Structure 1
Amino acid sequence: MTFDLFMQYLTNGISLGSLYALIAIGYTMVYGILRLINFAHGEIFTMSLYFAFYGVTVFSMPWYISFAVAILMTAALGMLVERAAYKPLRESPRITIMVSAIGASFFIQNLAIVLFGGRPKAFPNVRLLTGVMQIGAVSLQRLTLIIPVVTIILLYTLLFLVHKTKTGMAMRAVSKDHETARLMGVDVNRTITITFGIGSILAAIGGIMWGAKFPQIHPVMGVMPGLKCFIAAVVGGIGNITGAVIGGFILGVGEIMLIAFLPNLTGYRDAFAFVLLIVILLIKPTGIMGEKISEKV
C-alpha cells in the first residue's frame, strides 16, 4: 500500500470516527445523568435526516436553514421522548425505564415507516460539503475534513458547558446523586431534559453530516449506527464525554483500516465493532477513560 493510499484511508477513518463520536456523546451524557441507555437515540438520529430532507425538498428551504431547523426539531423530539418515556417512570425500577426506552425506539422507528414510507430516499446534495479537494495525490470530499473539525469544536464547547457553567454544574450534581442535587436547589427534571436536548442536537449534527456523506436515508437506518455509537461510548468509558470521542475515533479508524489491509473481510466490517467491544470488556470493563470501580468491604 502506498503512502498516499494509506492517508486516504486514514482521513476517511478519522471522518467516520468523528461521526461515531458525535452520536456516542449523546449516549454517554444520558448514561452519566440517569445511569441508563437511551435506546431511542439511533431513531432520533434518523429523524434528524428526515427533518432536513423534507425541509429542502418539500418546503424549499435553503439547505443551511433546513439543517438548522432540523437540528432544533431534533432537540425538541429528544426532550419530548424524555418527557414521555422517562419522566413518568423516574422513581420506577431501572428495568421498567429500560423497557420504556426500547418501546420508544420501536415506536419512533415504526412511526417513521408510516409517515415517510419504507422506500429509501436520496439526501439533498450540498455541493459546498460534497465537493472534492485534491491534496497531493489524495482526493477527499470537503466533508471528510469538515467533520473532524466540527467534532472537535463541539467537544470543547460541550466540555466548557459541563465544567464552566451553572447548567453544567447542575448536570454534574445530578449525575452524582439526584436527591442531594434536589436538596441543593437543582431542578433535576429540567437538568435531565436539557441533557436529552443537548444529546439530540449532537445526534442531529452527526446525522446531517452522515446524510451528506452517505446520501441515502430510510426509517431503520439508525439501528446499526446507534449500536456502533453505543459500543464507542462503552469502549471509551460510558459516562465520560472525552472517552466517547476516543471510542468513536478508534471504532471509525479501525473499521476503515480493516477494509484497507484485509479487503477480503469487507463484509465483516460491522462485526469489528462487536469484537472490539468484547475485547475491551475482557481487558478493561470500565472502558479506556472509565473510572476504576472500587469494591466496598
Structure 2
Amino acid sequence: MSNLVQILVDAISLGSLYALVALAIGLVFGVMKLINFAQADYITIGAYALVVPSASVSPALFIGGWPVVFMVAGVLAVVTVLALLTERIAFRPMRNSNPATLLISSFAVSYFLQHLVILVHTGRPKSVGVGNSLSAAVEIAGIRLPGNQILTMVVAAVMLVGLVIFLKKTPMGIQMRAAAENFQMARLMGVRANRVIAVAFVISGVMAAAVSLLLVVQTGTLDVRMGLMPVIFAFFATVIGGMGSLPGAALGGFIVGFISVMLQAFLPADLRPFRDAGVFLLVILILLVRPQGLIVDRAARERV
C-alpha cells in the first residue's frame, strides 16, 4: 500500500512540474501564438543564479548565499527580468511575423542563452546545496513521503490557484483571456497589446523560476540542459491538453507526469531506459484518437 501511495505521490509531483511549465508555454502561446522554447533556458538560468563561484568569495555576495526568502525573491527577479528582456528584444520586433519565424526566433534565443550559460559557468555539471533539509521524509497518516515532493505539490497548487484567480478576477487577467480568444478584437476594445504580452512573459518567468527552485531542491545538480526535457514534456502536455487551452495544459502536464512515473514503476528493468520513448508513443496514440487535444479552447472551436 505504501509503495502504491509513493508512486501516486511521485506522479502528482512530476505532473505538477510539467503542469507549471505547460501553463507558462500555453499562456504565451495564447496571447502571442508563440511556442517559446526559450522557457527551458529561463529554468536553467534561474537554477544557475544560485551558484556561488568560489569558496574564497563571501557567499552573501551571491543569490545562493542569501537567506531563503531573499534567495527565492532573487531568483524570481532574475528570471522575470530575463523573460521581459527576451520579449522586448527578440520577440516584440517580430510580433507580426508568421508563426514559423517566431518559432525560429525562440530557438535562436534558446541557443544564445544556453551558450551564455556555458560561457559563464562552463558546460560541466555543478552541485548546489539548497534545500537539503527538505529531502528528509515527512510522515503523513503512517506513510513516509519526501518533503521536497510535498513542497512541489504545494507550490504547484498555490500557483495554479493563484493563476486561476488572476485570470478570472483581475482586470489584467480578463484582458489576457480576451486577447487569447481574439487578439485583434481585444485591441480594438482598448486592450494594450504590449502590456498584455509583457505580463504573460512575466508570469512565464515566475513559473520558470519556481520550477528552477523546485528542481534544485529535488536534485541539487545543475546542467546547462536541465530545463530542456521538462519543456519538451510540457510541450507535449500542451498539445495533449489542447493548444491555447490553459486548463488543457495543466491537465496534459499531470497526464504526462502520470504516464512517465507509471512506466518507470511498472516496466521491466531492462526496458526502463526507454521510458521516454514509451511516453512519446502514448502521446502519439492519444493524439491519434483526439488530434485537437482533450480540451478545445473557445476561439479554436469557433475557427473550426
Letter in 2 for 1:199: S
2:237/2:256 contact within 8 Å kept: yes
CA distance in 2 between counterparts of 1:34 and 1:285 reads 22
SS in 2 for 1:53: coil
Letter in 2 for 1:22: L
Number of aligned positions between the proteins: 295
CA distance in 1 between counterparts of 2:88 and 2:282 reads 34
> Which consecutive residues of structure 1, in runs of 5 or more, have no partner in the other structure?
none
Letter in 2 for 1:80: L
1:40/1:105 contact within 8 Å kept: yes
Pair 262,14 (structure 1): closer, same or farther in 2 beyond 3 Å: same
Residue in 1 aligned with 2:294? 288
- 1:180 and 2:185 correspond: yes
Deviation by residue 1:19-57 (Cα, 9 ceiling, x = unmatched): 111111100101111122011111111111111334968
Judge which range, 237-246 or 200-209, deviates more.
Answer: 237-246
Q: 1:16 aligns with which of 14, 26, 33?
A: 14
CA distance in 1 between counterparts of 2:42 and 2:52 reads 16
Deviation by residue 1:143-173 (Cα, 9 ceiling, x = unmatched): 2112112212211110111111110121122
Query: 1:117 offset after TM fit, Å?
Result: 1.0
Q: 1:31 aligns with which of 24, 29, 32?
A: 29
Q: Give TM-score, length-normalised by structure 1.
A: 0.92
Q: 1:154 aligns with which of 154, 159, 175?
A: 159
Residue in 2 aligned with 1:271? 277
Judge which range, 226-235 or 273-282, deviates more.
Answer: 273-282
Residue in 2 aligned with 1:165? 170
SS in 2 for 1:118: coil
Query: 1:110 offset after TM fit, Å?
Result: 0.8
Deviation by residue 1:249-273 (Cα, 9 ceiling, x = unmatched): 1111211111211132210122233
CA distance in 2 between counterparts of 1:230 and 1:57 reads 37
Residue in 2 aligned with 1:258? 263
Pair 194,21 (structure 1): closer, same or farther in 2 beyond 3 Å: same
Judge which range, 3-12 or 266-275, deviates more.
Answer: 266-275
Residue in 1 aligned with 2:110? 105
What CA RMSD, in Å, does the superposition of the two structures yield over aligned residues? 2.1
Pair 122,88 (structure 1): closer, same or farther in 2 beyond 3 Å: same
Letter in 1 for 2:274: Y
SS in 1 for 2:222: coil
CA distance in 2 between counterparts of 1:135 and 1:169 reads 39
Judge which range, 99-108 or 177-186, deviates more.
Answer: 177-186
Residue in 2 aligned with 1:41? 39
Query: 1:238 offset after TM fit, Å?
Result: 2.4
1:52/1:208 contact within 8 Å kept: no
Q: Give TM-score, length-normalised by structure 2.
A: 0.90
SS in 2 for 1:52: coil
Judge which range, 140-149 or 125-134, deviates more.
Answer: 125-134
CA distance in 1 between counterparts of 2:84 and 2:268 reads 42
SS in 1 for 2:145: strand
Query: 1:58 offset after TM fit, Å?
Result: 5.6
Residue in 1 aligned with 2:56? none
SS in 1 for 2:126: coil
2:36/2:106 contact within 8 Å kept: yes
- 1:76 and 2:81 correspond: yes
SS in 1 for 2:205: helix
Letter in 1 for 2:257: G
Judge which range, 106-115 or 245-254, deviates more.
Answer: 245-254
Query: 1:119 offset after TM fit, Å?
Result: 0.9
Residue in 2 aligned with 1:53? 51
Query: 1:135 offset after TM fit, Å?
Result: 3.8
